[in-house]
């Protein structure tokens, strides 16, 4: 019988001098102990949390390059290319403006409704898209996950950066619309920077949470678009929560104003629109007569400032910071705990 430990091929070797056997039998020692003896560990083993965050930081250049490449290639098949990054939210604004602003009169009680609507749509779309993409990111990149060893959180993080890059381009158009609406350029505009930072942190955390859920349950990606669509209607994107009927329970209006998307939309409007700051409830000392007149005639924008606010600006900032930190911490820990399971069939 031929020696199967030798190199075999069609035909036979004429001279086998110098060829030695390389196959050796394993010792009776358990494989786990043998691996531990040589400091070996499974390639997919989950590292410690701090070590994991360090690996994410080491791959920051890869994350940015991956995000930029995805952003550039997203509309390569479309004739208008990157123009769709701005055109899509603008078309949404036009539709919402027609339906809610004109047909449903949702613009009542809002001075300069067009920039109000544009800010709401653009800011909410940033969060909506981050969550939608996050629900599919692990499934869509399964081949990459199985081929390379890297922190899997890099993928949701990169896709949030893609959405942030698209938002920055959209905000150029948003600024033009705001200025054309005769809203002045003031120092308050610098507050838009921390608002975007807080919203980005929240989006990262939310994307990590939904990415793990989507990796374990594929049907989640079908449900998320419906949930975000419902969420949109409860965030004051197309209307002012402060102008809702006074007969509604106070707790319901507070709950609507303190949900994460509504918080970041409100903070951005307060930063960029002077009319939102001057007409906001609580901007002037409480006057029951003027407040009642506003609720009767919503066109008296300035009288809204004499009403008591359900949520103050300070409370909005506290909520914005709280939502960002909570979502980020929970998202990182929740995603990290399943790190070793991503990519398995």
Mean per-residue pLDDT, 298-304: 85
Cβ atoms of 176 and 122 closer than 8 Å: no
The mean of the pLDDT values for the chain is 84
Structural domain includes residue 18: no
Lowest-confidence region among 37-41, 147-151, 276-280:
37-41
Structural domain includes residue 287: no
Please tell me which residue, 68 or 187, carries the higher pLDDT value.
Answer: 187
Q: What is the pLDDT of residues 150-207, one digit of tens each?
A: 899 999 999 999 999 889 888 888 898 899 989 999 999 999 999 999 999 999 999 9
Structural domain includes residue 296: no
Mean per-residue pLDDT, 301-319: 92
Q: What is the pLDDT of residues 12-28, one digit of tens each?
A: 555 555 555 555 555 55
Structural domain includes residue 304: no
36 confidence band (pLDDT: 50, 70, 90):
low
Instruction: Supply the pLDDT for residue 158.
Output: 94
Q: What is the pLDDT of residues 84-117, one digit of tens each?
A: 777 777 787 888 778 777 776 777 778 889 899 9
Structural domain includes residue 285: no
Q: Is the dihedral of CA 122, 126, 128, 129 positive or negative?
A: positive
Give the distance from CA 269 to its chain's centroid. Answer: 19
Where are the alpha helices (H) located in 181-259, listed in sequence order?
192-216, 220-233, 250-258
Please tell me which residue, 70 or 247, carries the higher pLDDT value.
Answer: 70
Q: Phi and psi (nearest 5°) for 187?
A: -65, -20
Show the CA angle centred on residue 64, arms to residues 227 and 207, nearest 5°.
20
Instruction: Supply the pLDDT for residue 41.
Output: 59
Whole domain around residue 72: which residue ranges?
47-280+314-339
Give Cα separations from 195 to 103, 190, 269, 324 (angstroms): 32, 9, 10, 10
Burial bucket for residue 114 (CB in 10 Å: 0-12, 13-18, 19+): middle
Instruction: Supply the pLDDT for residue 5.
Output: 46
Strand, coil or helix: what is 297? coil
Structural domain includes residue 137: yes
Instruction: Supply the pLDDT for residue 329.
Output: 97
Cβ atoms of 118 and 177 closer than 8 Å: yes
Structural domain includes residue 112: yes
Structural domain includes residue 77: yes
d(CA 203, CA 328): 8
The pTM assigned to this predicted structure is 0.84
Q: What is the pLDDT of residues 231-257, one digit of tens each?
A: 998 998 888 888 887 778 888 889 999
271's tokens:
């930063």
Number of structural domains in the chain: 1
- Strand positions, DSSP E, the chain: none
Find tokens 């800010």 and name the residue: 119
């Amino acid at each position: 019988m031929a020696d199967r430990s030798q190199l075999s091929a069609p035909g036979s070797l004429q001279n086998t001098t110098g060829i030695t056997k390389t196959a050796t039998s394993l010792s009776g020692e358990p494989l786990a102990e043998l691996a531990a003896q040589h400091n070996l560990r499974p390639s997919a083993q989950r590292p410690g949390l701090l070590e994991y965050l360090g690996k994410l930081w080491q791959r920051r250049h890869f994350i940015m390059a991956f995000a930029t490449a995805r952003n550039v290639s997203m509309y390569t098949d479309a004739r208008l290319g990157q123009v769709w990054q701005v055109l899509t939210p603008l078309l949404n604004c036009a539709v919402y403006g027609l339906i809610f602003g004109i047909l449903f009169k949702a613009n009542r009680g809002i001075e300069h409704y067009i920039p109000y609507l544009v800010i709401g749509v653009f800011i909410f779309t940033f969060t909506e898209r981050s969550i939608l993409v996050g629900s599919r990111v692990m499934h869509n990149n399964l081949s990459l996950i199985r081929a390379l060893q890297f922190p899997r959180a890099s993928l949701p993080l990169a896709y949030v950066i893609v959405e942030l890059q698209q938002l920055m381009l959209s905000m150029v158009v948003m600024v033009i619309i705001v200025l054309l609406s005769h809203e002045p350029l003031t120092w308050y505009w610098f507050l838009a920077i921390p608002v975007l930072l807080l919203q980005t942190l929240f989006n990262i955390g939310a994307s990590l949470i939904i990415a793990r859920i989507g990796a374990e349950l594929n049907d989640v990606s079908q449900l998320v678009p419906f949930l975000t669509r419902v969420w949109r209607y409860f965030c004051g994107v197309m209307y002012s929560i402060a102008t809702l009927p006074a007969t509604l329970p106070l707790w319901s209006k507070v709950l609507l104003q303190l949900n994460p998307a509504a918080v970041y939309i409100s903070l951005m409007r307060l930063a960029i629109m002077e009319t939102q700051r001057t007409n906001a409830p609580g901007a002037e000392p409480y006057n029951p007569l003027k407040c009642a007149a506003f609720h009767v005639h919503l066109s008296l924008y300035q009288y809204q400032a004499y009403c008591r606010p359900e949520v103050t600006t300070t409370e909005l900032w506290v909520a914005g910071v709280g939502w960002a930190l909570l979502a980020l911490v929970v998202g990182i820990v929740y995603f990290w705990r399943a790190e070793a399971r991503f990519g398995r069939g």
